[in-house]
Structure 1
Amino acid sequence: MHVAGLFLYPVKSLRGCAVPAVELDALGFVGDRRFLVVDPTGKFLTQRTVPRMALITARLSAGTMTLSADGAGQIVVPTAPDPHAPVRLVSIWKSEGLQAEDCGPVAAAWLSTALGQTCHLVRIGPAFSRPIIKATARPGDVVSFADAYPLLALSEGSLAHLNDRIQENHGEPVTMDRFRPNLVIDGCAAFAEDTWTRVRIGDTVLRNGGPCARCIMTTTDQLTGERLGKEPLKTLATFRRDATDPSDVNFGVNLIHETKLGTIRLGDAVMPL
């Protein structure tokens, strides 16, 4: 098994980017989901309710992040914390009262125009603290603006198996980007990732945090922002229902990095422990 894809999503729910290597810190992949779009009350926004978020690309360079969208131009935002930035309290699911840095009125105006609704861009700064609240977490495990876990892994074998079933049901196959993984693994059987307890990749060790329950975002074309029907949820519901909560359908595995500093590169071997 080896790493076949690495992806960063600098802003939660905006379009991500493929990278050849990633560094890890306490929160996960450096640069991944360190920014968040929120409504005026501080509640997080995602493609679940705002599918056109997929139309905005976020790319990182030295010290900056560039947001761009067709017809909207682009805006450049510093990635480093700003000690003078106002603090905005934000929420992600059950994590409430998170202290985030407001990125300012210019970024808010650009995003509000691009998304067609009033919103703000916030960034992780020194005041941000968010422990992982799932049962698989251990003391010291923290997470960024991701849904619940630092990392998400999915294998090429699992996607191929799913697409075979979708096509048997006369549906159109889906692409990997619909599932927004951080890590894509190749060279293993379908759903091998579900069985990992711990795994070594490069110089890092990662722990299974549990399966990833899928939502309506997987039905969204990540290039056009369009909802494309009921797949892949329709087919996943026929064979991937959660044993403890049948309302969930699972695809991919959440990971918690036990090694808080390290590097993962394309081609790195993946070795279950």
Structure 2
Amino acid sequence: MPTISALFVYPVKSCGAIALDCVQLAVHGFPWDRHWMVIDENGRFVSQREFPAMARIIPTLTADALVLNSPDAAEPLEVPLAHEKDPARVAVNVWRDHFEAFDEGVSAARWFSARLGVPVRLVRFADDVTRLASKTWTRDADAPTQFTDGFPLLVTNHASLDDLNARLEAKGAPRVPMNRFRPNVVLSGLDAFEEDFIDTISVDGIVLRMVKPCARCPITTVDQTHGVRDAQWPNEPLDVMMGWRANARVDGGLTFGQNAIALDGAGRELRVGASVDYELSFSDDF
């Protein structure tokens, strides 16, 4: 039977991860996941696509604050978990979605601007905003999310990574770790790429539906420890995925992992080591 082998949350979009032993599922995914985001002067989100060094900004969560550390920062940035009363608002956009977020102020803006070398600001998801994943993919289900690219959760499979790494090694390229793919839930005990054909997974009363193959972007080419691309293999693992992982369902995008939504179980816990039941989909779309 498959099991959950890892759980991750990413408090600031495109910054580092926090590994979890257990997590209580919220209606929008994992608590604090992509709850903050860095924006440019036009309100557009910035990411490791343009600033690979964002990978080196490492978050921790205390009882009352988000703490961000970076190797080039003399002091960490501390952001209270509780937002101010009547915070300043700013217009932001994540791909095609336009809405308002709470501005985290001058100190946070200066700290992030110093890290990235351009004027940016830190914002948090406003508690009076609802952003829904595309119903084209959710089968018309309401699936709230925050600053994710589009869906509340991302599920990957260790066996798929092993297969990918075997192909990298066969061409002489270095193996890549799972953190290149920035999952929330990692499964073990499946066959390689079996997740492509799964409809739902069930864990202790939680039901997640796989709704869309995840088309991968250049963030997968960024070393998540050092915030740089390999000088010899700057386009891996995307080059090895070319053709073999191109998926017509997402306009030929190179896919790894599945975007997912919660059908049931908000308030229940996911735990590393938990057994997973799953149902395959027999849709012609797969």
State the TM-score bracket (shorter-chain normalisation): over 0.9
1:243 matched to 2:248? The reply is yes
1:232 matched to 2:237? The reply is yes
Identity %: 35
Q: Aligned residues, how many? A: 272
Give how far 1:227 is off.
1.4
Partner of 2:269: 263
Partner of 1:64: 65
Q: TM-score, normalised by structure 1?
A: 0.96
Give how far 1:245 is off.
4.8
Moved over 3 A (4+): 244-247
Which amino acid in structure 1 is aligned with residue 64 of structure 2? Answer: G
SS in 1 for 2:16: coil
CA distance, structure 2, for counterparts of residue 140 and residue 211 of structure 1 = 18
SS in 2 for 1:258: strand
CA distance, structure 1, for counterparts of residue 267 and residue 151 of structure 2 = 16
Which amino acid in structure 2 is aligned with residue 143 of structure 1? Answer: T
CA distance, structure 2, for counterparts of residue 209 and residue 79 of structure 1 = 31
Q: Which runs of 5+ in 1 are unaligned?
A: none
Q: 2:155 aligns with which of 131, 135, 153?
A: 153
Contact 2:213/2:250 (CA < 8 Å) preserved in 1?
Answer: no
Partner of 2:105: 104
> What is the CA RMSD across the aligned residues, in angstroms?
1.3
Q: TM-score, normalised by structure 2?
A: 0.92
CA distance, structure 2, for counterparts of residue 4 and residue 200 of structure 1 = 15
Contact 2:16/2:57 (CA < 8 Å) preserved in 1?
Answer: yes
Contact 1:81/1:124 (CA < 8 Å) preserved in 2?
Answer: no
Partner of 1:19: 20
Contact 1:81/1:125 (CA < 8 Å) preserved in 2?
Answer: no
Contact 1:51/1:226 (CA < 8 Å) preserved in 2?
Answer: yes
The 3 A distance-change label for structure 1 pair 130 and 246 is closer
Give how far 1:185 is off.
0.6
Q: Which runs of 5+ in 2 are unaligned?
A: 280-286
Give how far 1:241 is off.
0.6
SS in 2 for 1:235: helix
CA distance, structure 2, for counterparts of residue 202 and residue 147 of structure 1 = 27
| Cα deviation 1:31-89 (Å, max 9, x = unaligned) | 11100100111100110111111111111121210011013020110122333210111
SS in 1 for 2:15: coil
